Structure formats: structure tokens, C-alpha cells
Structure 1
Amino acid sequence: MGTDLHRTEPQWLIQARETLTGEFAAQTARLTELTADTGDPGEAHTRSALIAATRQSLAQITDALRRMADGSYGDCRRCAGRIPPERLEILPHATFCVPCQQRQNG
């Protein structure tokens, strides 16, 4: 469907892109720190979980930035309706509108 947020909400889109880009940089730095060998085998399980969560976060951010670039940012992947800007402000990597997210969660 490709909602053109550049035309309807340019300031908000610029802010969302800046937020996501900053979060991407922070998560990348976190991943670098987490993958550094501390030599403490007792932390291996916790470290592994943190690495997985950080990688998932990076994937979500990357996907949101890609959707901004291709014009599909703000479109629900399930119903193709528009995700409200208020939801995207709170959860910038959201891929579903609230009703579809609730159905997705079961």
C-alpha cells in the first residue's frame, strides 16, 4: 500500500528516522560489548540471551528503516491499513496495527 508519510507528516518521519538510527547505533555498540570475551564462563548463559535480544532489536530497527526507505512504513503487514502515528511513536518498529497485533498474539 505504501503510505507516503513524507507528505503527510514530514517532521514526525524525520524524528522517527533519527530515533531509529540512534537506537541502531546504541544496539550495535551494545552487541559489540556483549560479544567481547570477558573470560567469565558463569555469565555465558545471560550473555547469550542478551546477545540474542540485541540482535532481534537490530533486525527490527533495520526492517523499520528499510520500510521507511521503500515507502511502506506505517502500513500494517496483516490488513494493509495504516498504523496510527501514535503507535509508531511509542513502538517505531511496529509492523501491525493494534487489532492485528492482538490477533497475532492470540
Structure 2
Amino acid sequence: MSVNTKASDHDRLSSLHAALSEEFARQTARFKELRKAHLTVDPGEAHNQAALLAATRHSLEQITGALRRLAEGSYGRCENCGIPIPLLRLELLPHTPFCMPCQQHNG
């Protein structure tokens, strides 16, 4: 029984790694496009463009963190308190490093 559980956990983590890697590639391409466009953006749009760049950079940081935790074997545990993060939360926010109580506390 534990072999099947471990196999399904491994499959789930492999699928997650693939999905995060694909999202990282998409966000990297988006970031490059935004940076290129930022050079020629209308001054009136500069603020919006800067916000898009910042949001994309933040997304890349979150994905990188999730991929690092997967590689280290700490994925799915809260970085603050160490308890397992509920599966539903990880399915909704696969890059989250915190459980809900710690996220709310850290703001």
C-alpha cells in the first residue's frame, strides 16, 4: 500500500515539476517581451508597463522558489512553521511557501 502511495506522490510531484517548469518558461518569455516593449513604451504607459514587469518578476520568483523546494524535498511544508500545507491549498497555489495561518500572519 505504501508503495502505491509513494508512486502516486512521485507522479504528482513529477507532474507538478513539469507544470511549474512550463509556467516558468512562459513567464520568462513574457518577462523578456515586456522588457523589450518597455524600451519603446509611451511615457503615459510607463507606469502600467513597470507594474506588469514587477508582477511577472514576482511570479518568476515564486515559481523558482517552488522548484527549489521540490528539488530540496521540502515542497509542501510551510517555510515558517514546518507543518504540511493542505493539498487543496497547494493545488490552488502550487508556488505557496506558507500554510494559511502563517500567510495571514506574515501578510
Cα shift readout 1:13-37 (whole Å, capped 9, x = no counterpart): 1121111111101110111110113
Residue number among 80, 83, 92 corresponding to 2:82 in the alignment: 80
Percentage identity across paired residues of the two chains: 54
Q: Which has the larger radius of gyration?
A: 2
In the other structure, the counterpart of 1:47 is 49
Relative contact order (C-alpha < 8 Å, sep 6+): which is higher? 1
Tell me, which stretches of 5 or more residues in structure 2 are unaligned? none
**Alignment length, in residue pairs?**
100
Q: 1:68, CA displacement in angstroms?
A: 0.4
Q: 1:39, CA displacement in angstroms?
A: 4.3
In the other structure, the counterpart of 2:30 is 30
Q: 1:38, CA displacement in angstroms?
A: 2.9
Paired with 1:39 and 1:52, the residues of 2 have a C-alpha distance of: 15
Letter in structure 1 aligned against 2:98? F
Q: Whose helix fraction is larger, Structure 1's or Structure 2's? A: 2
Paired with 1:9 and 1:85, the residues of 2 have a C-alpha distance of: 12
Tell me, which stretches of 5 or more residues in structure 1 are unaligned? 1-5
CA RMSD of aligned residues (A): 1.7
